Amino acid sequence: MRIIPLLTLLVLVAGCVRQAPAPQTIRPVKVTTASGAGLIEKDFAGMATPDDAVTLAFKLAGQVLDVPVSQGQQVGKGSLLAELDPRDIELQVSATRSAFEEARSVQQRMQRLLAHEAVSRQEAEAAATRYAQARSTYENTLDLLNDTRLRAPFSGVVERVYVDNFERVQAGQSILRLVNPTTTTVQFTLPESGLAVLRDSSTRFSVLFDNYRGALIPARLKDYAQTSSDASGFPVSLTLENPDPGHYRISPGMSCTITMQSADPVPDAVSLPVSAIFAPAEGGTYVWVVGPDDRVTRRAVTLGELFGRDRVVIDSGVSAGERVVTAGVYRLREGEQVRILN
């Protein structure tokens, strides 16, 4: 039978033929060139707050006679906002005026008698003292009469009225709140890590209001609190440098986005897209650096702050000018050759 020798020959021939190796897969990736962090932009949610706002109250207790304004009404400086029933105070004014006029008459008569040495100097001085006391009491009651009327300290809008006509109120009780309808102040909350940036004179601010999309208004630092009792952040106030207040009318309560532009505190830091960061399950933060031969090397990095919408500061591990993979970082292997798509 020739079948067995034929099979043996086929096996020997197949063994002599070497199987061709599979071609190596070159993975396509996107890369970016690490650049110096330079100026870092961070966005914060903010709100316009009033330049002038006050909650008014009477200095004395009494019954509200009239509140001639309503919520949302525009008033001018000096306008009457509320009035107490003045009858009790008017009675006091009449009584103290009578006492004042009598003391003044006595004091004048004593001065004339003293000029003729008809009374002692001690008696004249006592009359002068009683006159001064009566005048002070009379002037105080006149001030109380004036205090029965609340007037607007500035032009504005009545934001809220807290009492009704004929209501009995106590001294210091809130009567109404007056607010200036236009403002140049915005406020936002800054985390603790940003306080050092506020002290840097190179830090710049710009504000974008939801009502005026596309109109970026520059702003400057007004003030900020260096304490945070509820640990929610530190309130920061800015003053708008509005180039066209007639066109961009900013009112208290308008929402906005505040962009803070500052220099990175680490001189040699670079910035990369967040997508370039490789954080495996075993821990650590890395990036894939593409070498001159288009092979990747995994390198540990120290992360700084997030900024903008999708970037992060790299404090150490990458130098400016190096190529870093920005897409597909979880599919790469050490030393793997890649093909640059961009």
Look at the chain and count its residues: 342
> Can you tell me the distance from the alpha carbon of 257 to that of 260, in angstroms, rounded to the nearest whole number?
10
Please check whether residue 20 lies inside any domain of the structure. Answer: no
Q: Supply the CATH number for residue 198's domain.
A: 2.40.30.170
- For residues 170 and 209, state if they share a domain: no
Phi/psi of residue 48, nearest 5 degrees: -70, 135
- For residues 46 and 184, state if they share a domain: yes
* The pLDDT value given to residue 23: 53
At 209-246, the pLDDT tens digits run: 988 888 889 999 998 887 776 667 889 999 999 877 77
Q: Supply the CATH number for residue 162's domain.
A: 2.40.50.100
Residue 231, C-beta contacts closer than 8 angstroms, at least 6 positions apart: none
- For residues 160 and 66, state if they share a domain: yes
Phi/psi of residue 49, nearest 5 degrees: -120, 155
* The pLDDT value given to residue 14: 47
- For residues 139 and 197, state if they share a domain: no
- For residues 164 and 204, state if they share a domain: no
At 72-94, the pLDDT tens digits run: 999 999 999 999 999 988 899 89
Confidence of residue 269 (pLDDT cuts 50, 70, 90): confident
Please check whether residue 8 lies inside any domain of the structure. Answer: no
> Can you tell me the distance from the alpha carbon of 285 to that of 281, in angstroms, rounded to the nearest whole number?
10
Determine contact, residues 313/269, Cβ cutoff 8 Å.
Answer: yes
Determine contact, residues 221/262, Cβ cutoff 8 Å.
Answer: no
Beta sheet of 286-290, edge-to-edge order? 296-300, 286-290, 323-327, 27-33, 338-340
At 10-69, the pLDDT tens digits run: 444 445 445 545 456 788 889 888 877 667 778 889 999 999 999 999 999 999 999 999
If you write DSSP's letter for every residue of 50-78 in order, what string do you get? -SSEEEEE-SS-EEEEE----TT-EE-TT
Distance of CA 188 to the CA centre of its chain: 2
Q: Supply the CATH number for residue 324's domain.
A: 2.40.420.20
Mean pLDDT calculated for residue range 317-339 = 89
What's the count of helices (H) and strands (E) in the chain, helices before strands? 4, 23
Please check whether residue 18 lies inside any domain of the structure. Answer: no
- Residue 200 belongs to domain spanning: 42-52+180-263
Please check whether residue 14 lies inside any domain of the structure. Answer: no
At 164-182, the pLDDT tens digits run: 999 999 999 999 999 999 8
Confidence of residue 5 (pLDDT cuts 50, 70, 90): low
- For residues 157 and 119, state if they share a domain: no
- For residues 203 and 258, state if they share a domain: yes
Q: Where are the alpha helices (DSSP H) in 116-212?
A: 121-146, 195-198
Mean pLDDT calculated for residue range 112-118 = 84
* The pLDDT value given to residue 40: 76
What's the alpha-carbon Rg for the chain, to the nearest Å? 41
Query: For 321, left (φ over 0), alpha (ψ -120 to 50), or beta?
Result: left
Higher local confidence (pLDDT), 71 or 21:
71
> Can you tell me the distance from the alpha carbon of 208 to that of 163, in angstroms, rounded to the nearest whole number?
38
- For residues 240 and 95, state if they share a domain: no
Of 127, 147, 167, the position where a domain reaches its end is: 147
Residue 1 clears pLDDT 60, i.e. is over it: no
* The pLDDT value given to residue 22: 47
* The pLDDT value given to residue 12: 46
How many domains are contained in the chain? 4
Q: Supply the CATH number for residue 118's domain.
A: 1.10.287.470
Q: pTM for the whole thing?
A: 0.61
Determine contact, residues 334/298, Cβ cutoff 8 Å.
Answer: yes
